[in-house]
Structure 1
Amino acid sequence: MMNVSDLRKRVYAGDNMISLTDIRYLPRWVILMLDILILVISFALSYVILDNLGVAPLQTIPQSWKCVLVVGVNVGFMFAFRTFAGIIRHSTFVDIFKLLLAGVCTLMVLVAVNVVSSLTYGTRLIRMPVLFIYFTVSFLSLFLFRLVVKEFFQIAGELRRSTRRKRILVLGITQQSIAIARAVLDNPQLPYQVVGFLTQRSDSRNAKLLGKPIISRRRLENTGKDRLGIQGVLLIREALDKEEMNSWVNLFLEKDLQIFKAPSVQKLRSGDMNAQIKNLQIEDLLNRKPIKIENDEVKRRHFEKNILVTGGAGSIGSEIVRQVAQFSPSLVVVLDQAETPLYEIELEVREKFPHINFRFAMVDVANYSRLEPLFDKYRFSMVYHAAAYKHVPLVEDNPQEAIFTNILGSKNVACLSSKYNVNRFVMISTDKAVNPTNVMGATKRAAELFVQSLQNLEGNTTKFITTRFGNVLGSNGSVIPLFKRQIEAGGPLTITHPDIVRYFMTIPEACELVLQAGTMGAGGEVFVFDMGQPVKIVDLARRMIKLSGFEPGVDMKIVYTGLRPGEKLYEELLSDNTKTLPTHNEKIMISKDPTMSYAEIDELVTRIVEAASGAAKVEVVKILKKIVPEFKSNNSVYEMLD
């Protein structure tokens, strides 16, 4: 926005491409001059009207003197009421009322002048009808001038904004879709212009909603976006199931349309800029129907109880902390060895849950002597064990550290849970523990075997439960955040193999499974989750590129780097010789994996921990393969051990 001096500078500088809506305001003297011009024209028009009525003016003083008298009195009252002080395009009822007061006072003074002139000289200076016609014409002219300027700037502003706004269709013709469209239309802050509605139906060709046309899917399929004059589509994520979402998104990506998702109508109308329309993310397409949590049972297990979460600063652990905090536990101890992430989760949960009692312990789960005082002091009711090293290539190259954290750490936490009579111990495992091809998966399988062996140990009262699931969306080090960073950097996107596939679930879904398993387990089970259909990573990459507005292979390339050490093409949730049992939740099954006795697994774990303290990593992995016979290395230096 500019004033006149800024405008002048731009003109003299050679930039004559100036939008009228850039003008912030005109100087007051310019407004006054325009008003005086309108008053002079109104005075002349009054005599034209009188002449058309066949009434001759009084021959008292010259017409120019009469004009000076009438306009001068009017201008004096305009100064008194400061009618020219406001910005015309923002004129209000108060500004119009000031004009009316100035006109009425002018009329009263001129009528008084006429009366005095009549009593003194026996004649009026100006005919009375002229004064009344002048009052009416001048007031209406000044009012219309301001109204026209106000409307002009409003229309110009709308036209300017509409050229900057994205022209979008709203998907659906339901009440919810109409409400979202109305909220967008009523919110001038949003950079979107709703130009129509999109529907699967084909019987609404001539119908309109909110004055906007309804476009059928068939018409969009047969017509380009340029002919329709649209740039994107706004959809309501919650109104579509997975199949509908994928079908529509495939069409939109094929037509090179941007895809936006709407927040709730209430948030849009409130102007909450933190919850505005956003680009559709790949997570929205991979989300599935979440597990139905039995909140009463989950709450009973956590309400006013002491809870321990190991690995509580990680992706899964921190979400478990957030979900557990909603059930009003007496205490939540968040344990992790990573200082900065632990500090960050502390800041977050203390702000979100100020009424919950938190303790933050910077402890390595491999350090038994540091763990035991916590169990002795707080007497936990539930332990969620999420602490683990999980990055396959790093663990493959550093197997000793994985032995200490994934195996010894799990042994320490599980044994202390049994010793201090923790009601339930829930271990977070991975689909990579099934027929493992890498050290990370094998260490997690060894931890599963040890935890399960404690269940039937004499004197044990703790219920030991294991949960096993695939990749979680957005977790630290996962593929989706990596692809997002690579897209932001301009590419290329790196994929290890064109045929690699993975199962996906959201972090909240994974943690809901963990909480649910903690309530339904009788002890010793390995719970696996119905992960749906696996996703081909190259298809995931192509979709993410298109959702970001680029063309795969043209604007952004995909590069294949080869399988990393220990990586396999397909992850499994169940081993080949495993049987599954259903539970009352159709999305959760019990895996009946082979088990080992406590004496056998404890002896092997002791051996591998001792080896990890001094032996070469090949010797360590050799013992790991004895613990997990199905562990067959893939694309790794340890293949020679097979």
Structure 2
Amino acid sequence: MGIKNLSNKMYEGDNILSLSDVRYLPRWIVMLIDAIILFFSLFFSYFILDKLNVRPPTEWPLGIKFLFVLMVNGLFMYVFRTFSGIIRHSTFVDLFKLFLACLCTLVTLSIFNYLYLYIGGSKLFLTPLFFIYAMVSFTLLFAFRLVVKEFFHVLRQLKARGDSNRILVLGISESSVAIARAILDNLNLPYDLIGFLTDRKDSESARLLGKEIISKDKLKAKSKAELNVDGVLIIKELLTRDELNSWVNILLEKDIKIFKSPTLQKFRPGDLANSIKEMQIEDLLNRKPIKIDNDAISPRHEDKIILVTGGAGSIGAEIVRQVAKFNPKTIVVLDQAETPLYQIELEMKQEFPHIHFEFILADISNERRIEPVFKKFQFSMVYHAAAYKHVPLIEKNPREAILVNVLGTKNLSMFSSKYKVNRFVMISTDKAVNPTNVMGASKRMAELFVQSLQNLEGNQTKFITTRFGNVLGSNGSVIPHFKKQIEAGGPITVTHKDIVRYFMTIPEACELVLQAGTMGKGGEIFVFDMGEPVKIVNLARRMIKLSGFRPDEDIKIIFTGLRPGEKLYEELLSDGAKTLPTPHSSILISKDSTVEFSVIKRYTQQITIAALKCENDDIVKLLKEIVPEFKSENSIYQTLDL
């Protein structure tokens, strides 16, 4: 706060005044202090000459000389704006400005003095005075700034002894030092920087920004109490995946908090506090960075009309966000969930006010509601993300899976072909591969229907299917569920000690969807490189440690048994399926079996009738006929496989 706000605070009765509340001094106060320093420097310079028995020329009165020198010096300080920086954040640039102002004053006064000698026959000033004055004034001006800066550092350290986290910054590179300096210079951050952490062994005897440098070996050898540290700040971009894992394992073992930060260049302006966050489990899943070809994606979307079904869901909403970046003419967001649709509407209108959006509340299984939408907008691309996906719920309600996942997909794909949509991109799942549950089988049937349309006579639409595993943070996914259980004090429930899953972040999954939709020729099933599978119990243990608790002590882990239709291992490719490479290293084409349109059409009609009659056994029997690899596990429908 400035002086005015500070005085208001005192006037309003708040007698507890913290000097750290003063964000900066007004410029006029800095200029006044600088003027006093200059006056004292000049006075001291004359005092030194007097002690040396050197008598200055007396042509001008001493007061006039003082005024003249101070005006010249003040002019150059104004030109170089030495008063404009915030004193406690002074840098080498501010020091250089002071040096230039003093140097220019010295040169200007010397030139004037010799011109006066040339014209009037005598000097106004003794030349040594200028050098003494320049050295004294520069030293005192610099000392003033240094004292203020160090005073605020001490004040910050005193304030940090309260509830602030005592942290180490990982690394001694320029980026790490820049982050550390930013923390030291910000009194309001809840962090007290006590040193640096490095895997180098030759830096322990050195100090950086006046702080200790701790080696990796010392970190391993000492306890958290001996180190007297609460957390470590990590800049992920500076580490390889192996380095990150190595450090995280050590820190979690010692119950030391882990904070993450972008490089200083990526900080949001004025938002340093929110740029430093606690490390999340999503940061530790060994995901390779994914690069997409925006030059190929942009022409498919720019100035085009795009439909996103399921646009209020976690995947659909992210597709909407990413498509909006390519400046389409119109994005139509369709969903049957009223409140989430309204929320995405508010978000999009705020984030992308220049894009025209249409938000449509509709059920994709209702073809009379859906066809007018296609007739009105003449879409260039359709992203079909609408689906029911929760395995145990769908196992109990197979009717809904057929009406949405199968019939809804049929309606959208048929109208896409009828109204000559350029591309239709369906979002599928790894649970459609060798399905063990109704949800996965219904998605596999939807895949077969979409593929069968590609070679239908008269069809001009390119039908593309994308298939990937679990996405981090999606609605109902395991990580948000575990977070809630940890916040509630546990226990964390895991279905089986050996269960594993593939994971991908929502943004990168949607980036690959856009990329695959662009490169598809029609009829393909694209599968994504999901990285290494993750053991869910290990995921739970790491999340507990990241939250500052001890697994099996503070937070219990209990095993509840596999749920209906759930299997231990998910697959991305069918048995015997072959893959073909694509220009993108993270995308492959799966060569799964296909079905003729007439066959899948007949099955779709039959299964829809069974769904409308709520005949669950008939629904599942038909699913097993059209998807012969569908074998129920841990389900009431296992008897149908005998």
Q: Does residue 517 in structure 1 map to residue 510 in structure 2?
A: no
Question: Bigger shift: 274-283 or 495-504?
Answer: 274-283
Question: Bigger shift: 202-211 or 441-450?
Answer: 202-211
Shift in Å, 1:473: 0.3
Query: Hey, what's the Cα distance between the residues in 2 that align with 1:535 and 1:267?
Result: 30
1:367 — aligned with what?
366
* Residue deviations 1:33-61 (CA, integer Å, cap 9, x gap): xxxxxxxxxxxxxxxxxxxxxxxxxxxxx
Alignment of 1:476-487 (within 5 A): 476-487=475-486
Preserved contact between residue 21 and residue 157 of structure 1 (Cα < 8 Å): no
CA 268–321 in structure 1, closer or farther in 2 if over 3 Å, else same: closer
Alignment of 1:492-511 (within 5 A): 492-511=491-510
1:275 — aligned with what?
274
Query: Hey, what's the Cα distance between the residues in 2 that align with 1:181 and 1:274?
Result: 13
CA 226–623 in structure 1, closer or farther in 2 if over 3 Å, else same: same
1:460 — aligned with what?
459
1:339 — aligned with what?
338
CA 209–153 in structure 1, closer or farther in 2 if over 3 Å, else same: closer
2:526 — aligned with what?
527
SS at match of 1:197: strand
Query: Hey, what's the Cα distance between the residues in 2 that align with 1:460 and 1:364?
Result: 25
Preserved contact between residue 21 and residue 156 of structure 1 (Cα < 8 Å): no
Query: Hey, what's the Cα distance between the residues in 2 that align with 1:311 and 1:290?
Result: 27
Q: Percent identity?
A: 66
Shift in Å, 1:221: 0.9
* Residue deviations 1:431-453 (CA, integer Å, cap 9, x gap): 00000000000000000000000
Preserved contact between residue 336 and residue 363 of structure 1 (Cα < 8 Å): yes
Counterpart AA for 2:348 = V
Preserved contact between residue 21 and residue 153 of structure 1 (Cα < 8 Å): no
* Residue deviations 1:445-495 (CA, integer Å, cap 9, x gap): 000000000000111110000000000000000000001111111111111
SS at match of 2:445: helix
Preserved contact between residue 439 and residue 566 of structure 1 (Cα < 8 Å): yes
Q: Does residue 308 in structure 1 map to residue 307 in structure 2?
A: yes
1:558 — aligned with what?
557
Question: Bigger shift: 443-452 or 273-282?
Answer: 273-282
**What is the TM-score normalised by the length of structure 1?**
0.76
Query: Hey, what's the Cα distance between the residues in 1 that align with 2:267 and 2:383?
Result: 38
2:488 — aligned with what?
489
Counterpart AA for 2:582 = T
Structure (1 or 2) with the larger CA radius of gyration: 1
Query: Hey, what's the Cα distance between the residues in 2 that align with 1:165 and 1:479?
Result: 32
Gapped runs of 5+ residues in structure 1? 9-18, 25-147
Q: Does residue 637 in structure 1 map to residue 619 in structure 2?
A: no
Query: Hey, what's the Cα distance between the residues in 2 that align with 1:592 and 1:276?
Result: 44
Counterpart AA for 2:226 = R
SS at match of 1:164: coil
Alignment of 1:611-630 (within 5 A): 611-630=610-629
SS at match of 2:232: strand
Query: Hey, what's the Cα distance between the residues in 2 that align with 1:309 and 1:564?
Result: 31
Preserved contact between residue 183 and residue 269 of structure 1 (Cα < 8 Å): no
2:194 — aligned with what?
195
Preserved contact between residue 430 and residue 441 of structure 1 (Cα < 8 Å): yes
How many residues are treated as equivalent by the alignment?
Answer: 509
1:40 — aligned with what?
none
Query: Hey, what's the Cα distance between the residues in 2 that align with 1:348 and 1:426?
Result: 24
**What is the TM-score normalised by the length of structure 2?**
0.76
Query: Hey, what's the Cα distance between the residues in 2 that align with 1:469 and 1:214?
Result: 44
SS at match of 2:168: strand
Q: Does residue 428 in structure 1 map to residue 445 in structure 2?
A: no
Query: Hey, what's the Cα distance between the residues in 2 that align with 1:208 and 1:380?
Result: 63
Shift in Å, 1:239: 1.8
Preserved contact between residue 621 and residue 640 of structure 2 (Cα < 8 Å): yes
Shift in Å, 1:262: 1.4
Shift in Å, 1:153: 11
2:260 — aligned with what?
261
CA 176–401 in structure 1, closer or farther in 2 if over 3 Å, else same: same
* Residue deviations 1:171-212 (CA, integer Å, cap 9, x gap): 111110010010011111111111111112112121221121
Q: Does residue 418 in structure 1 map to residue 455 in structure 2?
A: no
Preserved contact between residue 528 and residue 589 of structure 1 (Cα < 8 Å): yes
Shift in Å, 1:161: 2.6
CA 220–430 in structure 1, closer or farther in 2 if over 3 Å, else same: same
Query: Hey, what's the Cα distance between the residues in 1 that align with 2:608 and 2:635?
Result: 22
1:247 — aligned with what?
246
Query: Hey, what's the Cα distance between the residues in 2 that align with 1:532 and 1:155?
Result: 48
Shift in Å, 1:359: 0.3
1:66 — aligned with what?
none
1:132 — aligned with what?
none
Shift in Å, 1:218: 1.3
* Residue deviations 1:337-386 (CA, integer Å, cap 9, x gap): 11011000000001100010100111111011111111111110000000
Query: Hey, what's the Cα distance between the residues in 1 that align with 2:555 and 2:386?
Result: 37
Counterpart AA for 1:530 = D
Shift in Å, 1:540: 0.4
Counterpart AA for 1:602 = K
CA 428–154 in structure 1, closer or farther in 2 if over 3 Å, else same: closer
SS at match of 1:290: coil
Shift in Å, 1:616: 2.0
Counterpart AA for 1:439 = V
Preserved contact between residue 180 and residue 193 of structure 2 (Cα < 8 Å): yes
Preserved contact between residue 378 and residue 419 of structure 2 (Cα < 8 Å): yes
2:348 — aligned with what?
349
Shift in Å, 1:155: 5.4
Preserved contact between residue 187 and residue 271 of structure 1 (Cα < 8 Å): no
Counterpart AA for 1:479 = V
SS at match of 1:260: strand
Alignment of 1:213-232 (within 5 A): 213-232=212-231
1:184 — aligned with what?
183
Query: Hey, what's the Cα distance between the residues in 2 that align with 1:273 and 1:495?
Result: 37
Alignment of 1:74-223 (within 5 A): 158-223=157-222
1:46 — aligned with what?
none
Counterpart AA for 1:420 = Y
Preserved contact between residue 364 and residue 408 of structure 2 (Cα < 8 Å): yes
Counterpart AA for 1:622 = K
SS at match of 2:161: helix
1:377 — aligned with what?
376
Query: Hey, what's the Cα distance between the residues in 2 that align with 1:519 and 1:267?
Result: 30
Shift in Å, 1:21: 7.0
Preserved contact between residue 201 and residue 215 of structure 2 (Cα < 8 Å): yes
Query: Hey, what's the Cα distance between the residues in 1 that align with 2:451 and 2:355?
Result: 32
SS at match of 1:610: helix
Preserved contact between residue 345 and residue 359 of structure 2 (Cα < 8 Å): yes
Query: Hey, what's the Cα distance between the residues in 2 that align with 1:535 and 1:274?
Result: 32
1:329 — aligned with what?
328
Shift in Å, 1:290: 3.2
Shift in Å, 1:287: 5.7
Preserved contact between residue 263 and residue 275 of structure 1 (Cα < 8 Å): no
Root-mean-square deviation (CA, aligned residues, Å) is: 2.6
Preserved contact between residue 286 and residue 531 of structure 2 (Cα < 8 Å): no
